[in-house]
Chain A
Amino acid sequence: QSVLTQPPSVSGAPGQRVTISCTGSSSNIGAGYDVHWYQQLPGTAPKLLIYGNSNRPSGVPDRFSGSKSGTSASLAITGLQAEDEADYYCQSYDSSLSGDNYVFGTGTKVTVL
């Protein structure tokens, strides 16, 4: 039902680099709307990780980085750590015939091997 598609899961060993894709369309990411990313640790509320495609809020390690191109965006985690095991969601804005709406991605579970 979500208009932003993410891979259900990605995994990596400690220290490795993993990337999470967020694929949209011409009514959201492709229309130029910004993409934001959230981390949700087990049993907790989502936490803002990246805003405005590539900006990190104060306190977020520079191991996390975001980018956007065309109708997709990506979140990269370098130097993967055990504490990074969580669900990650992208978020953008969608403007279509059915109305304007803030939309979230389907979510990706990151597993640290």
Chain B
Amino acid sequence: QLQLQESGPGLVKPSETLSLTCTVSGGSISSSSYYWGWIRQPPGKGLEWIGSIYYSGSTYYNPSLKSRVTISVDTSKNQFSLKLSSVTAADTAVYYCARHWYIVGALSVGWFDPWGQGTLVTVSS
């Protein structure tokens, strides 16, 4: 059974870079059938897709966050990571990683399952 686990600092200062890692267990991140994604949820609010990565390193990002986001993959560790730069209080959220299902040739047909348990990141001085 595939499981995902987020890890990283729970507190980040304004203007600094948020860094999180997602460790995948029970399956290989190098599978050609999936992308791997990050989604966030501000406290009491809805969900926002941040971006996704393929095991080869191919990425695509939410246009509204693209200038600040970098997602990378380490297949040797079965992990993928998120970096979000120049954070503000508006970036305070629970950050989830998830397996991103897609249809070959139709990236628009994509959904997320399963999800990690999430990790709360607070941006504050």
Q: In the complex, what residue of chain B is closest to A55 when comparing beta carbons? A: B111
The 8 A CB mask of A26-48 against B (1 = contact, 0 = none) is 00000001101010000011111
Q: Choose among B47, B64, B96, B108 the residue that contacts A89 (Cβ–Cβ < 8 A).
A: B47
Q: Using Cβ atoms and an 8 Å threshold, which residues of chain B touch A36? A: 111-112
Is the Cβ of A93 less than 8 Å from the Cβ of B118?
A: no
Is the Cβ of B63 less than 8 Å from the Cβ of A57?
A: no
The 8 A CB mask of A44-66 against B (1 = contact, 0 = none) is 11111001100001000000000
Q: Choose among A48, A89, A93, A100 the residue that contacts B46 (Cβ–Cβ < 8 A).
A: A89
Q: Using Cβ atoms and an 8 Å threshold, which residues of chain A touch B48? A: 104
Is the Cβ of A48 less than 8 Å from the Cβ of B109?
A: no
Q: Using Cβ atoms and an 8 Å threshold, which residues of chain A touch B47? A: 38, 46, 89, 91, 104, 107
Is the Cβ of B62 less than 8 Å from the Cβ of A48?
A: no
Given contacts A45-B96, A89-B46, contact A33 B63 (CB under 8 A): no
Given contacts A99-B63, A100-B63, contact A48 B108 (CB under 8 A): no
Q: Footprint of B on A, CB under 8 Å?
A: 2, 33-34, 36, 38, 44-48, 51-52, 57, 89, 91, 93, 95, 98-107
Q: What would 18 A/B residue contacts be, using CB atoms closer than 8 Å?
A: A2-B46, A36-B111, A38-B112, A44-B117, A46-B47, A46-B96, A47-B115, A51-B113, A57-B113, A89-B47, A91-B111, A93-B110, A98-B63, A100-B63, A100-B108, A102-B62, A104-B48, A107-B46
Instruction: Give 3 nearest A-B pairs by CB, closest first.
Output: A99-B63, A48-B113, A102-B49
